[in-house]
Amino acid sequence: MNDRLLKAARRQPTDTTPVWLMRQAGRYLPEYRAIRGNIAFLDLCKHPDLAAEVTVQPITRLGVDAAIIFSDILIPVEAMGIALELGDKGPHFPNPVRTAADIERLAVPDPVEGTGFVAEAIRRTRKALNDSVPVIGFAGAPFTLAAYMVEGGGSKSYMLIKRLLFEQPKLAHTLFQKLTDTLIPYLKMQVEAGAKVVQIFDSWGGELGPYDFERFSLPYLTRMVKELQATGVPVIVFGTGMSPHLPLLKRTGADVIGLDWRIQMDEGRRVLGQDVAVQGNLDPLHLFLPREELEARVVDILKRAGPVGHIFNLGHGILPPTDPEAAKFLVDSVHRYGTALRQSP
């Protein structure tokens, strides 16, 4: 197995910097669109053969150092008994969670019964790749999932979830606890199926101020990290707009902290210290730069990160209009200059 990513996650030396891209299996690839044109997104997530095929596509085309299983962070939420619609305009919950009765009705599902297709997709991906690169499993963080559930979808103000936190904090904690009790077995199932590393997406955690993040997100992230690390796999925690929360994120004990593009890589490393690995942090829109400028941004990040304990990635997911050749150029540049960085005096 190409184990660069696993070594980097544990701050061990590697021959070059490992790289993968959030949403690397998706709409910017024509081979993905060919499959997606015949099946709804949610159905694709639940079809192990097709999900595995889509997961493998960027490994073949781009040469990235890991495969992240094709799925969605809201998959385990649907298994809790809430109707979910996933379309081109994003997720939608027709019956959002707003009351104590709504939360009481949510189940803590058996992961195999409710989401076993994710584990099967991981097994089929490993077989298709002959375990040539590690498979990344993932889940959303409790706050992020709760935000979708309470708001009924995406939001600009997050008013409804924040009102729940501030007006009914005990009820909010009940929801977060139920989500955590669902997510830990869900991730453990992915590890048992062969995921070699897991990432927790607290995509909307940056919408909370430090006091509220520490109160409403940090305890649940920390529990998830500890229980997943007990399985022996490294754990990555990532969120957007999280630069002010880096000291708090370090307290989760995660092996790797993902950085978005809003902070310089060396500043992130300074805040976090050298005893945690980092991931990131190219702005996804930099993939639209001329090649020479894109290469310069790659080199700058690599130099700021240093040769040990860095996994190159975007600061958020790759965008649908992106040219796949730009993504391939990015991956090649990371590998080329990552090697050169290790060879320089």
Helix (H) or strand (E) holding 277: strand 277-282
Q: How far apart are the first and last CA of the chain?
A: 29
Active site residue 36: yes
Q: Would you say 264 is a known binding-site residue?
A: no
Composition of the chain by helix, strand, coil, percent to 5: 55, 10, 35
344: amino acid identity, one letter = S
Contact 276, 250 (CB under 8 A): yes
Contact 199, 238 (CB under 8 A): yes
Which member of 3, 11, 27, 304 is catalytic?
27
Please give the Cα distance from 38 to 276 (Å, whole number): 43
Please give the Cα distance from 328 to 151 (Å, whole number): 37
Q: Would you say 24 is a known binding-site residue?
A: yes
Tokens of 140: 């959303």
Q: Would you say 277 is a known binding-site residue?
A: no
Q: Would you say 315 is a known binding-site residue?
A: no
Q: Would you say 25 is a known binding-site residue?
A: yes
Given the structure tokens 């939360």, which residue do they identify? 103
CB atoms within 10 A of CB 173: 16
Which member of 65, 72, 202, 255 is catalytic?
72
Contact 11, 309 (CB under 8 A): yes
Active site residue 27: yes
Q: Would you say 23 is a known binding-site residue?
A: yes
Q: Would you say 194 is a known binding-site residue?
A: no
Among candidates 214, 220, 254, which has minimal Cα distance to 237?
Answer: 254
The DSSP-derived string for 190-206 is HHHTT-SEEEEE-TTGG
Which member of 61, 124, 126, 148 is catalytic?
148
Active site residue 148: yes
Contact 243, 260 (CB under 8 A): yes
What is the 8-class DSSP label of residue 243? G
Active site residue 72: yes
Q: Would you say 337 is a known binding-site residue?
A: no
Q: Would you say 253 is a known binding-site residue?
A: no
Which member of 3, 11, 36, 212 is catalytic?
36
Active site residue 105: no
Binding site residue list for substrate: 23-27, 72, 148, 203, 316
Give the annotated binding-site residues: 23-27, 72, 148, 203, 316
Active site residues: 23, 27, 36, 72, 148
